[in-house]
Amino acid sequence: MTIVDLKEIAAKFKERPLPGRKLYIWHGSKEKLLGYLPADNIRELDILQIAPQEGIDEPTQIRKRVKKAIAQKLEEYILNLKGQQILVVSNVYLLARYKVPLISLYEIYFSDKTMVILVVLKGKVDIRLPDYVSFEDNATLKYLKEVLPEEHRSNVIEEV
Amino acid sequence: MINVPIGELIKRVSERPEGTILLSRAIGTPEKTVNTYRFTPNIRGWIEEILEKVSTGRGGGYWVQAEYGAGKTHFLAVLTCLLMDTSKELWDKVKDEEIKNFRHRLEKIKLFPVILSLKGEAGVDEEDNLLKVIEDRIEESLEKVGLENKISITTEDEVIDWYKTRPATFRNPIDDFIRGKTDINPENLGKRELSQLIIEYCKATSFRPEITTSTKDRISHIYHQIQGQGYQGLLFVIDEFEAWQRRHPIDSAAYAYDEEVLETLSWILPKDLGLEIFTIVASQAPAPAKLRGEKEDRFTNVLLLRDEREYGEIVTERVRELVEERQPEIDQYYEYYYNEFRFLRSIPKEYFYSIFPFQPRIFEAIRRITIARDLPTARLGISVIYEVIGNSEVLSRDSLVTASDLMVSKDLCDAMETEVYREAHRAYQSAISSLEEYDLDEEDKELADKIIKTLFLMFVAYKDTPKALSVQELTEATLTSKGILKEGEDNVLRVLNIIRDLPQVYYTKEKGACFKVSERETRPAQIFGTTKKKVKDEYEIKNKWEEGLILDLHRTGGVGEGLFSGFEFEHRIERTAEHKRIEYPGEIIIARSWREEYGAKLDGPHFRVIFMTEDLGLDPEDIEDPRIAVCVPSPLTNAAFEASWDYLAILKMEEDYLPQGGSEAEEIKEWIKTKKRDVVSNLLNKQIGVYREGKIFTKQSIGIDSNKVFSIGKMDRVLDTLIPLLLSNAYTTFFIDASNFRRKFTSSEAKKVFEGLFKGNKSSSATSACDNFAPGLGLVLLENPREFEPEGNKVFEFIKDKLSQTDEIHIWKLYRDLQNHPVGLTKEIVTLQLLAFIRHGKPACEISLKPMNRLDLPGNRINSFNIPDIEWKRKFEEDFDILYPMAGPGWNDVLPLARFINRNLKEATKPDEIKAQEAQLLLSCKTISDRIPHIKGDLKILSDKFAEPVEEKIPKILEGLEKITEASSFTEFYSLTKDYEDIKDDFEIFTKVDTLDKESTELLNMKSYLEGAVLPEKERLYGDRFLLQQRLKLSSLLDNPSLMGSIKAQFESFKTTYKNLYQRFHRDYFKEIKKLREELESATVRIEAISRLNRITELHFSEEKGLVVQFQDLLKNTEPCPNTDPVSVETSPLCPECKLELTRELPKEETKEILSKINKELERRSRKLAQALTKKILEEVKENRLNKLMKVAGIADLRKFAEILNDELISLVNDILKKANIKTESYPVFENLGKRYGLIGEEKIEEIVSAFKEELEKAFREAKKKHIGKKVRISLR
């Protein structure tokens, strides 16, 4: 997919609900993405913001809590949904980091009036890392492609 | 037609149906979920089965398999809602009464629900397996119902439970181990870390904690704990399993483990342990084989959406409601479409209502499109259909919604822009926009639009397995109804033929129509354009124009015909045309150049029309006959030139592609076929115009309006207009009153009138022709149109006038004068009038016929009398030669002579009367003529039989009469008889001979009968016969045939008496014969015995052949008559079988004599046998049968003797006598003695005795000499 396709879809979506589960992965900066989208349909969901803040050090718990928090947020959004809504999800790396499933989107949020764009920042490490450290800059994308169903895993739009 | 728009009959659901059903959300809104669900028969069946299973507490698994968008999630959600909430409020929302019945049965069943959708699932704690996900979800579910801390779910839970329930002595070392490892008190550790450290301790100390390890135990453990909380069983609802399964390839460990988990849930635990666990999995893929079980008894496969029908019902239910009070109008729709189309014939009426207002094929298209995985959603169908019935144009129509209407959906169009369909969609858009290039009227354009849309959608729907639609299918799919003139299919075919020029539309009659994406490099239309430019040659184009004028249906492929179809250039074609109710023959010529002969005078035809193919500057002076018209066209108009050029081009293109093969060439050939039809049609349409704008030349320049003549482009109509104009100008003298004709007089009518008036033909065609035409022709009176009675006939007057001027008229001149202008009678009318004139006989005329004519009339002439004998044949008038007044005797002159032949003949003057009298005369002659040969033959036979010669004059008279009776007309009769002397006397003699001849058979019979009757002279009948025979003399009968009457009476009397006599004699004779025969038959055994004794060789019996023959003859003579009494002697005087004559006597004496002879001979032989068989021999033999025989012989009982004597005894006697060595020899001792002593006195006794002795001794001597060494006996008999 290209940004042109996405913009076209977003424009149509602004006009009318579009049938189906619409999920796209934006591989680039959120700001740039927002610049392409119609502002009045946007709702942002920052995973980092909704993730539990108190100290939990067990990954299982973190996964469950984040999953729950997302579900709650999505319930809230869907209950208050008026017209079409594009949900721009940022800090998605957290999902990958704790293997948080995306089932909430599929069980709660998706509808003809909703669209989800997962923002995956392009990994950049400015500093030189020690040799024993390997930085996997596409880990989030890799996770998403693994978890997402076939219909969505190829909906990746690269920022150019 | 229906006049109610569908928008008034349906109500679209107010809220746009959600295209994306999410399991949790659907379960969270149970009323809406249940309320919007359509229980099709198939779905109802499955839900009933599952509810039944739950209500009876039998756990098990169901695998709901269906494609994307088939409603799996909705199915799971409804089922879950119904199982989780048995309240009346919710179940009242169920739109199916049968399902509702389950509520009471489920009321008390409480299942613990575990609902999970695996789309987006990531696995749990690095363990990517289904059990973990399930455990996780059970935890969440427990949390929702407040049981989170009461049940241990995971292995960690179990380990910690186990640890916590250990005694302190056991637990303290574990706590020490944990503290040592982590420096943290165990109670402060998280569940997962704590359980891991406990397990680590167990491993280090080689201790095995008491926790469940197998899947079966783990779930069972959970089950029992939950059951302990008041639940009857577990309900696992797993959606989107395929999404999960895709992450675990077949044959991977994870795949196998997932299978094990599902197998445990659905089969092992319910079946082995009887746990009430219900597992319902939804997936696009079928259940793996292991889960189905070898006997298909594990997961029950639930198939949703068996076909488009079910899909259609569900989709329709989701998008609209019917306006109940408008049901009659919906019924009207049904009736209309049922009668007009076929698609409703195979579906129930109820289904029509359930999918109203949609044509069923719409669901085939949208379903197949939406199940394609490349579309953004599988549930697109509902959205699309919802959009379609929101379209005001669609709603305003009074027709069902068709597949082509789907293209109003923006959602569908968006979907078509996805990569997989984009190319096809663009091709479709191109095809639609190309329609503007076609010269289509609004209706056709609309139909073309529908066809393209339908074909495109079917292409998309069957992308992998392309499907073409037949014209009929396309007609049904587009709901093209029949028009005023054409069937719907004709319209579709016509439009299809036009738009198949488009590269996207492919159509052949055999394969049907389909949409094609691959574009041809060059469109046929472009090739045509190029070809057209190449062939621009004015001469060729003019040639094609001319060729087009004579095109026939075959060459135009059925499109139409050229203006002069059926003609050839420069060939005269005979045609007929009507003018003043007369059909005139004429000729038509299509000419590319002018020839002098075209303008020459007509001889025979009544008109000539020449159609020039171009204006060559004709001079009217060249036209010599006012009945000739020359039609000259205007120069070709641009449109005509263009049409001719197109025709040239398409022929060239056709020629170019003829030898080419390959699919593209074949497609172009198909295009050419269609295009050619259009081109030819256009060319034909242009032809009439140039003639309409042209000129029509005639001798007298009568100014015929070509616009009027060529107002209609049909040759027949042109001629029908033109020729009457020509002829009305040429024919100005009227000898007949054609206005009195009741209908058109064609050439065949003349024959019918002729036969009706002159040949007595009373058939309906002949009488009808007389009624219709004879008054107008002046041959009859109006009040009696079937009777020839001419009055005021102008043709007769014309002929009479001609005859008054000359003794004879050549017939051809009459024809010329009467056929040509200004009279203008047809040849057939002239012939009819001419024959009528002759028949009329005023004056009496004849027409001599040409030698070798075909009329076959006596004297080779036509006169008043033989008119009815004429056979009206084609061109027979060509045999007519000269007309002249008639001479010869009249009927009344002939009558005195004729009356000798037939006294009934009368005087006559009219031809019909004369003809009738003549016919009677000729009939009498014919009768006589036919009789004479018979009479001659009969006289010969009579003369022979009666042994009397016939008078010499009689044969001569017969010969004379034979000649005169061969006459074939009364005039010929006259000429033969006028010099005949004594015709009166001769005819009287003939009459007598003829009278007797008619009795000849009877005469011969009487004669034969009398001769054959054998009568004893003593009989009185003998004398009667004599007298009768004296009267029966041929000469006297020829003189006076009337004697026959009394002779016949006398004969009958004789026969009656004779018959009686004969029958009695016959009866009595054979009665006696029978007795005699019985006597003879009784002697048969004896005569056989005589013959048998011949075989005793030692006794030397003579054969007695004469006696046997005599006996057999007599037997034959005494055979009975096969006829039964009384026998018939009606036709013959003797019994036909036995021929018994009245003089025959009975063979009584012969019988007596033969019987006596037989007895004597048998007696003699028996005695001789007895002598041969001495007492001594018989004692030696001791044969009873032989003794019995000899005893019988001894008493001379010949009957018994003969009965006993059989072949066996004969053989025995022969053997005995041979053994006895005795030979018996006959010797004429007494005969010799008799010869020596005829009479003897007493004194010679001694001498006689001595002589006897001598004779005996002599006999013995000779016998011994003959039979040396044998004992000899002398038989004195």
Coil vs helix vs strand at B183:
coil
Interchain pair A58, B247: CB under 8 A? no
Residue of chain B whose alpha carbon sits nearest to that of A113: B18
Question: How large is the angle between the packed helices B794-805 and B811-819, nearest 10 degrees?
Answer: 140
State yes or no: pLDDT of B376 exceeds 50: no
Cβ contacts (< 8 Å) between B116 and chain A: which residues?
103
Strand partners, B882: B810, B848
Coil vs helix vs strand at B481:
coil
Interchain pair B18, A57: CB under 8 A? no
Mean pLDDT, residues B340-351: 88
Candidates B16, B27, B124, B377: best to mutate against A (most CBs of A within 10 A) is: B377
Mean pLDDT, residues B483-493: 77
Interface of B with A (CB under 8 A): 16, 18-20, 22-25, 116-126, 136, 190-193, 240, 243, 246-247, 373, 375-380, 382-384, 410-411, 414
Interchain pair A78, B25: CB under 8 A? yes
Amino acid, res. B665: A
Least confident of A76-85, B895-904, B1194-1203: B1194-1203
State yes or no: pLDDT of B437 exceeds 80: no
Q: For chain A, which residues score pLDDT lower than 70?
A: 55, 57, 123-127, 129
Interchain pair B120, A147: CB under 8 A? yes
- Which has more pLDDT, A46 or B1171? A46
pLDDT band at residue B750 under the 50/70/90 scheme:
very high
Which range has highest mean pLDDT (A117-131, B300-314, B616-630)? B616-630
Coil vs helix vs strand at B281:
strand
Residue in A16, A17, A102 nearest the CB of B120: A102
| Residue B334 φ/ψ, nearest 5 degrees | -60, -50
Interchain pair A19, B25: CB under 8 A? no
Cβ contacts (< 8 Å) between A65 and chain B: which residues?
none
Shortest distance between the Cα of B557 and any Cα of chain A, in A, equals 52
Check: CB of residue B1100 under 8 Å from CB of residue B1224: yes
For residue B767, give both structure tokens: 């009488």
Q: How far apart are CA B248 and CA B228, in angstroms?
A: 35
Candidates B15, B22, B137, B246: best to mutate against A (most CBs of A within 10 A) is: B22
Interchain pair A149, B246: CB under 8 A? yes
Backbone dihedral region for residue B751 (phi beyond 0: left; psi -120 to 50: alpha; all else: beta)? alpha
pLDDT of amino acid B951: 87
Residue in B121, B126, B383 nearest the CB of A19: B383
pLDDT band at residue B373 under the 50/70/90 scheme:
very low
Q: How far apart are CA B727 and CA B740, in angstroms?
A: 19
Shortest distance between the Cα of B31 and any Cα of chain A, in A, equals 17
Residue closest to B1129 by CA, chosen among B1141, B1145, B1120:
B1141
Residue of chain A whose alpha carbon sits nearest to that of B139: A64
pLDDT of amino acid A55: 67
State yes or no: pLDDT of B520 exceeds 60: no
pLDDT band at residue B295 under the 50/70/90 scheme:
confident
State yes or no: pLDDT of B920 exceeds 80: yes
pLDDT of amino acid B889: 75
**DSSP classification of residue B461:** H
Cβ contacts (< 8 Å) between A62 and chain B: which residues?
none
pLDDT of amino acid B518: 62
Shortest distance between the Cα of A37 and any Cα of chain B, in A, equals 19
Q: How far apart are CA B356 and CA B2, in angstroms?
A: 15
Q: How far apart are CA B4 and CA B331, in angstroms?
A: 12
How many Cβ atoms sit within 10 Å of the Cβ of residue A112?
23
Residue in B22, B119, B380 nearest the CB of A149: B119
Interchain pair A58, B190: CB under 8 A? yes
Cβ contacts (< 8 Å) between B120 and chain A: which residues?
101-107, 147-149
Amino acid, res. B862: I
State yes or no: pLDDT of B297 exceeds 80: no
B756-771 tens-digit pLDDT? 999 989 999 999 999 9
- Which has more pLDDT, A76 or B517? A76
Q: How far is CA B666 from CA A85, B508, B1096, in A?
A: 54, 10, 114
Least confident of B909-923, B942-956, B1030-1044: B909-923
Interchain pair B20, A12: CB under 8 A? no
Interchain pair B20, A17: CB under 8 A? no
Residue of chain A whose alpha carbon sits nearest to that of B242: A149
Residue in A63, A100, A111 nearest the CB of B20: A111
Interchain pair A61, B190: CB under 8 A? yes
pLDDT of amino acid B794: 95
Backbone dihedral region for residue B342 (phi beyond 0: left; psi -120 to 50: alpha; all else: beta)? alpha
B816-873 tens-digit pLDDT? 999 998 999 999 999 999 999 998 888 888 999 998 898 989 888 998 878 988 999 9
State yes or no: pLDDT of B1181 exceeds 70: no
Cβ contacts (< 8 Å) between A19 and chain B: which residues?
19-20, 376-377, 379-380, 382-384, 411
B1053-1071 tens-digit pLDDT? 999 889 888 988 999 999 9
Interchain pair B18, A112: CB under 8 A? yes
pLDDT of amino acid B243: 81
B539-594 tens-digit pLDDT? 899 999 999 999 998 888 888 899 999 899 999 999 999 999 999 999 999 999 99
State yes or no: pLDDT of B648 exceeds 90: yes
Mean pLDDT, residues B139-157: 82
User: DSSP H helical segments within B356-440, as ranges?
Assistant: 361-370, 380-388, 392-396, 410-416, 419-434
Interchain pair A108, B126: CB under 8 A? no
Q: How far apart are CA B1170 and CA B1168, in angstroms?
A: 5
Number of H helices, E strands in chain B: 55, 22
pLDDT-above-70 percentage for chain B: 96
State yes or no: pLDDT of B707 exceeds 50: yes
State yes or no: pLDDT of B1106 exceeds 90: no
Coil vs helix vs strand at B237:
strand
For residue B614, give both structure tokens: 């171009």
Shortest distance between the Cα of B166 and any Cα of chain A, in A, equals 26
Work out the mean pLDDT of chain B and round it to a whole number.
87
State yes or no: pLDDT of B698 exceeds 60: yes
- Which has more pLDDT, B451 or B21? B451
For chains A and B, CB pairs below 8 A equal: 108
B505-516 tens-digit pLDDT? 888 888 889 998
Q: Would you call B225 exposed, middle or buried from its count of C-beta atoms within 10 A (0-12, 13-18, 19+)?
A: middle
Interchain pair A60, B376: CB under 8 A? no
Strand partners, B320: B12
pLDDT band at residue B120 under the 50/70/90 scheme:
confident
Shortest distance between the Cα of A150 and any Cα of chain B, in A, equals 8
Residue of chain B whose alpha carbon sits nearest to that of A24: B376
Interchain pair A106, B124: CB under 8 A? no
State yes or no: pLDDT of B307 exceeds 50: yes
| Residue B636 φ/ψ, nearest 5 degrees | -60, 135
Residue in A60, A107, A150 nearest the CB of B117: A107
Q: How far apart are CA A34 and CA B906, in angstroms?
A: 134
B1140-1162 tens-digit pLDDT? 999 999 999 999 999 999 988 88
Shortest distance between the Cα of B637 and any Cα of chain A, in A, equals 55
Residue in B25, B246, B377 nearest the CB of A20: B377
Cβ contacts (< 8 Å) between B246 and chain A: which residues?
149-150
For residue B1072, give both structure tokens: 């006696």
Least confident of A85-89, A132-136, B70-74, B672-676: A132-136
pLDDT band at residue B753 under the 50/70/90 scheme:
very high
pLDDT band at residue B738 under the 50/70/90 scheme:
very high
Residue in B121, B243, B380 nearest the CB of A19: B380
Interface of A with B (CB under 8 A): 12, 16-22, 57-61, 63-64, 78, 99-112, 143, 146-151
How many Cβ atoms sit within 10 Å of the Cβ of residue B1215?
11
Shortest distance between the Cα of B22 and any Cα of chain A, in A, equals 5
pLDDT band at residue B1247 under the 50/70/90 scheme:
confident
Residue closest to B838 by CA, chosen among B788, B878, B874:
B788
**DSSP classification of residue B629:** E
Cβ contacts (< 8 Å) between B19 and chain A: which residues?
19-20, 111-112
Least confident of B319-328, B372-381, B450-459, B632-641: B372-381
Q: How far is CA B875 from CA B75, B586, B837, B864, B880, in A?
A: 94, 16, 19, 21, 10
Mean pLDDT, residues B138-161: 82
Residue in A12, A21, A112 nearest the CB of B414: A12
| Residue B351 φ/ψ, nearest 5 degrees | -65, -40
Cβ contacts (< 8 Å) between A147 and chain B: which residues?
120-122
State yes or no: pLDDT of B111 exceeds 50: yes
